Structure 1
Amino acid sequence: MEERILVVDDEKDICDILQFNLENEGYKVDLANSAEEALSILTDRHDLIILDVMMGGMSGFKMAERLRKEGKSVPIIFLTAKNTENDMLTGFSLGGDDYVSKPFSVKELIARVKSVLKRVRLNKKETQTLWQHEGLTIDILNNRVTIDDVEVTLTKKEFEILSLLSQTSPNVYTRSEILNQVWGDNEFVLDRTVDVHITRLRKKLGEYSSIIVNRSGFGYYLNSEPKTTE
């Protein structure tokens, strides 16, 4: 899935450079030139914030502090012209995930971005093992799907698609992303293969078939608000 990054820096040149390089790596990038602007455009769809510390108006540290007080856990990589131990400790104490000093290497920053996002993905996979919506349960740990405690018989690929969508609900997965995640690069299959498996899944889910939604021109997602347990 295409991950979305919010870059917040009052230096337009830095924003433009980061946007160009991050988009070349396949990320979606939004830009803000102040903490105030960033707060106005930040959504749950953002997977990471690259946040300058020293800006006019609200500082990056203040913005991070506000986000954490509001219970928002979006990962943050701080950018700063300062390189002191106290600043680093402040950044981490405010819930920062990494800290990069200016001037920085774009390649190094991208490596840090990939590392943080990978860690977040792994943590999600480790913690989200049970997805529930009314009488439907997707037990990711034990590879089981039940409706009102009656097991639904799915093929391996069908379960993997449903598990994939449940772990990122309500984010959209494109057909290509589903193919890459479920079939991998070693199998030659067409986008139509995903549609066929989704049709079979909907039939097997019966009254819950409508939770798998096709967003025209984008892909598929689960349209519900599950209860997640560890």
Structure 2
Amino acid sequence: MDKKRILYVEDDETLAFLTSDNLEQHFHVTHCNNGKKAFETFCNESFDLCVLDIMLPDMDGFEIATEIRKRNEEIPIIFLSAKTLKEDRIKGLKLGADDYLVKPYSIEELILKIEIFLNRSQKSTEKASKKYTIGSFTFEPQNYILIQNNETTTLTERESALLKLFLDNTNTVLKREKILTSLWGNDDYFTGRSLDVFISRLRKIFKDEAGVKIENIPRVGFKLVIESL
């Protein structure tokens, strides 16, 4: 498996050497010793996570993070700083940083945090990009759309959540109460009526799709059946 790419920005030569040497055992590390060079490198290369010192020549860590966030809202950012004031930590987090470690830090803690944020970022990316195939339809839950023959049907947020719940439990009976509490947080009469409306709408969308149907299980719930053709 390819190592994840880390942009590490630190102007203290000794600390940078020690930290880079340890990080290189786990990741592919690109080290920059000033802010301007770091930002140029970020713009010209691809990285999975950024580790930024704050006090840097040319362009400080806060400024780098601000510019990075303009271009990439998702990449994890960890600040490393000798600044211990609560105001600095709050400022860093408000700029979109995922964490803020105060020097001297434990290299083991830094590696652990990097791994946690990389894992979280990967799961988030996988979740956001996941698509489902339903017969001749492609379902993109993050965009609330169904695509068939280049024609797009837009779902409401709750319709999309309902369809995703069915797809994650294909050919399995879902109790009515489970569906209602999953989507609405309760199973009262009014949410039950809303569910019936959404079920009807989804059935209408798939009415001409052979092998795809939402079955009503009397006094129990529903089941999305997708038959292999």
Give the TM-score taking structure 2 as reference length.
0.55
**In 1, distance between residues paired with 2:7 and 2:126?**
23
1:111 counterpart residue number: 112
Map 1:68-83 onto structure 2 (within 5 A).
68-83=69-84
1:66 counterpart residue number: 67
**In 1, distance between residues paired with 2:77 and 2:89?**
13
Map 1:37-116 onto structure 2 (within 5 A).
37-42=37-42, 43=44, 45-116=46-117
**In 2, distance between residues paired with 1:138 and 1:54?**
47
**In 1, distance between residues paired with 2:149 and 2:45?**
31
1:33 counterpart residue number: 33
SS of aligned partner of 1:24: coil
SS of aligned partner of 2:7: strand
2:199 counterpart residue number: none
1:9 counterpart residue number: 10
- Which sections of structure 1, spanning at least 5 residues, go unmatched? 132-136, 142-146, 150-230
Q: Any idea what the Cα deviations from partners look like across 1:89-136, whole Å, max 9, x if unmatched?
A: 1011101011100011111111111111111011112211139xxxxx
Q: Does residue 104 of structure 2 align to residue 121 of structure 1?
A: no
**In 1, distance between residues paired with 2:122 and 2:139?**
19
How much does 1:20 deviate? Answer: 1.1
How much does 1:71 deviate? Answer: 4.2
**In 2, distance between residues paired with 1:51 and 1:7?**
6
**In 1, distance between residues paired with 2:87 and 2:103?**
16
How much does 1:15 deviate? Answer: 1.8
SS of aligned partner of 2:100: strand
Structure 1 residues 138 and 19: alpha-carbon distance in aligned structure 2, compared to 1, 3 A threshold = farther
How much does 1:44 deviate? Answer: 5.2
SS of aligned partner of 1:96: coil
**In 1, distance between residues paired with 2:15 and 2:139?**
43
How much does 1:10 deviate? Answer: 0.8
1 or 2 for the larger relative contact order (CA 8 Å, sep ≥6)?
Answer: 1
Q: Any idea what the Cα deviations from partners look like across 1:135-154, whole Å, max 9, x if unmatched?
A: xx79899xxxxx969xxxxx
**In 1, distance between residues paired with 2:129 and 2:22?**
32
Question: Which structure has the greater CA radius of gyration?
Answer: 2
How much does 1:5 deviate? Answer: 0.2
Q: Any idea what the Cα deviations from partners look like across 1:163-221, whole Å, max 9, x if unmatched?
A: xxxxxxxxxxxxxxxxxxxxxxxxxxxxxxxxxxxxxxxxxxxxxxxxxxxxxxxxxxx
1:172 counterpart residue number: none
**In 2, distance between residues paired with 1:120 and 1:73?**
8
**In 1, distance between residues paired with 2:76 and 2:130?**
21
Q: Runs of 4 or more off by more than 4 Å in structure 1?
A: 137-141
Give the TM-score taking structure 1 as reference length.
0.55
Map 1:207-222 onto structure 2 (within 5 A).
none
Q: Any idea what the Cα deviations from partners look like across 1:32-90, whole Å, max 9, x if unmatched?
A: 00110111211452001100011122110011112223345321100000122111110
